[in-house]
Every structure is written in structure tokens, then in C-alpha cells.
Structure 1
Amino acid sequence: LDLGVSSPQLDDAERGFSFMRDGPLDMRMDPTRGQSAAEWLQTAEEADIAWVIKTFGEERFGKRIARAIVERNRIAPMTRTKELAEVIAAAMPVKDKHKHPATRTFQAVRIWVNSELEEIEQALKSSLSVLAPGGRLSIISFHSLEDRIVKRFMREQSRGPQVPAGIPMTESQLKKLGGRELRALGKLMPGEEEVAENPRARSSVLRIAERTNA
């Protein structure tokens, strides 16, 4: 599984994922379903926007950015990615020399609009029903929120069912609970050469687990 938005989606300005290319403020993986980013930002409460930016973008200036977005939409609703990127940049009191000021906020809004983290959790659970014993589950994540979900899933499935201490259970009862589903094999990070060839791989983490015979 290769999580998140793809390079073709980022490079297509009409999809509205990129703050580097001006296009419709959409960000939906499926443009035929749900609210676009522009629609959500125009109707959401300031507190909700701030929560999304902080929670899914891990942006410390979430409240300040949310206030600027709401104030800008009161004047004239934003419909373009460039407009949102400019509002975010103007609201940032401190600029990161190595990261565009809109990076975290665009990530947060995209995750929220597409319910990405819920989709990841569902995909991970579904993988167990199609992965044969000895099969490998390989997952590439691109930010810490995704990686935490993958790491937790593999850890839990590698431990097997947990029985609270002090609860007596027979051997047959323990067998019914089943054994561990996966065996975590570790993780890989991109090397300098790979990052030089593909800068978008910089933050990626590849985690691998093997299906057990349980």
C-alpha cells in the first residue's frame, strides 16, 4: 500500500492538491463525492478549522491560520489553491526556511476532506482477509500521522489477543481467541541517493510485516 496523495495528483493543478500550482480548491480523491476543500472552508466554524489544522497538520499556528481563512472567506469566498496558500503565508508569524508555510495546512485539509486516516485503518483491517500465510504486507507512509496508524496496527497484530491478568481461561478458550496475525519485519527509510532522485520520498517510511499461519 502506498498511502496518501500520488505524484500525478499533486502535479495536476486541476485536482487542487498543490499549493505550488494554482487550481480549483478541491482536494478530493474522488471529485464526484463529498465537499470540496473550498466548500468545507466556507461553511466550517473557525474552531473546527483550527482543530483540523492542528490535529491533522500538526501546525502550531492553527488558530491564527483558521482566523485568517474565515476572515478572508467573509470578504470573498476562496475558490483557488493560490488564494488559500497566500492567506496561510500571510498569517504565519514565523517562516520555516525549509518548508513552504502552506504545507501542513494543505495536508490537514486534504486529510479531513477525504477522511484519509479512517480509510487507512479500514484498508489495514481488510488486508488481513486477503493476505495468505507467508504473504508480505508492505506499507509506505509519508507523514507521522499515517506512520503511527501503521505502526500501531502492526504492533497490535503481532502481539495477538491480550488477556487481562487475573482472568482465568482454559486452553480451548485461548485457542478460540486466535494467535497473532502478523510478524513485524521492520522498517526502511530512503537513503540520500533516493531522496536526491525523488525529493518527495524524503519523509517516507516503509514498514513490512509477514502474515503468520495463525
Structure 2
Amino acid sequence: MDKVIVVGGGAAGIMAAISAAESGDSVLLIEKNEKLGKKIYITGKGRCNITNDSDVENLLKNVRSNPKFLYSAFYTFDSYRMMDFLESEGLKIKTERGNRVFPESDKSSDVIRTLKKALEKRKVKILLNTKVNKIDIKDGICKGVEVQSGSRSENYTADKVIVATGGCSYQSTGSTGDGYKFAKDADIKVTKCYPSLVPFNIDSDIPKRLQGLS
């Protein structure tokens, strides 16, 4: 049995922790926020658009650039497996226009609750309000992490560390670019990042006249 640490308690980190636990590993999930899945709460306008009820080839057709990069991941765990997993854990789901899949309750909190129960069922240990400051790497081998909780610092050892911190897209949800820092500290080349969704100012009254439209 390996000791696995997952850094980041968002959708990717939760699923990584579940997968590692199902493989028989002892898993510790570390999240710097006060709760898991903070970004999931706001997806789909609070309803959580879980996935799209389409086969892999159709999903890849709708990837705008380099769909081949996702080929292996999509075929390893496609949208049907995601839906089956959530239903097997007790979440009722529905499919709407455009094959969009939502929880039947229209509440993203139900998705989070289901994922948290799945973690607990697999005996994943969860640390909240705990920030990972550093990935401990010695002689090219990852040995664990250095964390901070309040004013206290602590080290956790591990056989494997999975970094699932997301990008730098919505800082109030915890996506502050920690993964880029970890990569740079490990001498991994990080390509310059550019924002894709940004606010911008318009010197016109057009936005006011459009107010109320989606």
C-alpha cells in the first residue's frame, strides 16, 4: 500500500483521491479552502453542469484545439462512466437540452455532498484550511509536502504526490496558480500563461441597454 497525497480538493483532486483509494492506497487530500469543491458550487449557475451525455468522438469534435491531448483521458474515463459513478453513489441526475447533465435537484451542493460521501466511504483523510507551501523533492524523487495551517507548519511524507490545484482562473475559489509555482520549483518548464476569460471596459451605454439579457 502506497501513501498518496493529493493537493487540491476540487473536482480533479477529489476524483484523483477516489481513484487512488480504490487502488488500495492510503490517501490524504489537502485543501486550502474551508470546504471541498468550492468552484463546483458556482458551476452551471449553481446547478453544476456535470458533463455532456455524448460519446468520446462527439466530445473531441467540440474541443477547439489539440483534441488528441485529451484522447487517452476521455477513453479511460468517459462521460458515461462519470454518470454511472455518481448514480452508483446515490446522486440522481438528468439530461437537458444539448445533452447537458445536471443533478436532478438542480443543486451543485448535492454533487459536492455525493463526492464527499464517496471519499469518506473509501477512507480518504481530508485536511481543510491547510495550504501546501512546498512539494518536497530530493534527488529527483517526490518525498511529500510541507503544509501550513494557521501559524503552524508541518511536513507529510508520501510515496506519491498528485498536484490538482487548477490554473489561475478564479482566485477567490482557491485557483491562485500554486501548481505553476510547484512546477517551477521542480525545474519543470512552465509556458507563459494568458487569461482567456477577462473583464473589459466599454466606453458606451450598450451594456446598460442590454442589461437583463443573457
Q: Which category of TM-score, normalised to the shorter sequence, fits these structures? A: under 0.3
Greater relative contact order structure (CA < 8 Å, 6+ sep): 2
More strand by share: 2
More helix by share: 1
TM-score by length of 2: 0.25
TM-score by length of 1: 0.25
Bigger Rg, structure 1 or 2: 1
